[in-house]
Structure 1
Amino acid sequence: MSDTTATPTRPVNWTAISITAAVVMGGILAALLAVAPRDDGGIAWFDPMIPGGWMAWTLPVAIFFWCIASLLVTFTILAIRFPETPRVGVLRIETTRGDRLFISLLGSAFICLVWLFFAGLPVWGALALCLVYAAAVFRWV
């Protein structure tokens, strides 16, 4: 004889999860800005965050990795909350949101490298191109 009584499940509070994730990521960003090197009261953007460290951990590098971590957290929550089936785009391969994020990040890295080679610093123009490229990838790939 099988037991047909189902145990009620508690609904997941996605608003609380999203707000908690945003608060945690905001706290990490605030901590990064708090420990950033300062000179004459302002942030010294390109001074090392770890004096004598083995890698050039400057504030822009830390913010870059913070952005990547924020994207991964956001896309993880989206994947759990709104599962999606893969779709076929112009590349004729099945992709999910995570796949399109990876394609856009990889392509953006190459856009920035090409920009640095041909135009040099600053890379604000490359950032604009990367945003257009990412929008195109999420729309059509």
Structure 2
Amino acid sequence: MSTATQFAPRRANWTLITLTVVLLLGAALAFLIWATPVRDGAKAWTDPMIRGGWMAWTFPVALFFWCIASLLVTFTILAIRFPETPRKGFLQIETTRGDRLFITLLGSAFICLIWLFFLGTPVWWALVLCPFYAAAVFRWV
């Protein structure tokens, strides 16, 4: 038996990997929704999830961190499955998908902060602007 056939690399089953990741992230989200406190028969979205905890772990805070974790997992899988070379965009700096994700997250935070400074709460309309900003960053930066 030759060493070439003995150590032939196995092809990854990307459908199974993707399905597993989607199921795990979906289960984590379902757990967060399940763990949200209930008051008077309805979900109390802004009540603390951990009574007496050192941080205000409300559902919106937990959902924010779930979204960040989901993005990081997704972009890690994309980087492994579809490696890319850096490209130059509008800013004339070489960026990869991860760089553009970081620029998007940072810019979205500033959009929300500027919205809060000039217009106050609620921030929902600023969050509506963020996907358009993200699309522009991924297209032109």
Q: Same fold (TM over 0.5)?
A: yes
Segments of 4+ in structure 1 off by > 6 A? none
Deviation per CA, 1:61-101, whole angstroms, max 9, x where unpaired?
A: 00000000000000000000000000000101000000000
User: 1: CA distance between counterparts of 2:48 and 2:4?
Assistant: 61
Q: How does the TM-score come out when normalised to structure 1?
A: 0.94
Alignment of 1:5 with 2:1, yes or no, is no
In structure 2, the CA distance between the partners of 1:38 and 1:4, relative to structure 1 (3 Å rule), is closer
Q: Say which is worse superposed, 40-49 or 69-78, in terms of deviation.
A: 40-49
Return 5+ residue gaps in structure 1 as ranges.
Answer: none
Offset at residue 133 of structure 1 (A): 0.6
Which residue of the partner structure matches residue 63 of structure 2? Answer: 63
Offset at residue 5 of structure 1 (A): 3.2
Deviation per CA, 1:8-27, whole angstroms, max 9, x where unpaired?
A: 22110001001100000001
User: 1: CA distance between counterparts of 2:120 and 2:45?
Assistant: 19
Amino acid at match of 2:11: P
Q: How does the TM-score come out when normalised to structure 2?
A: 0.94
Count of equivalent residues: 139
User: 1: CA distance between counterparts of 2:3 and 2:58?
Assistant: 59
Which residue of the partner structure matches residue 95 of structure 2? Answer: 95
Which residue of the partner structure matches residue 118 of structure 1? Answer: 118
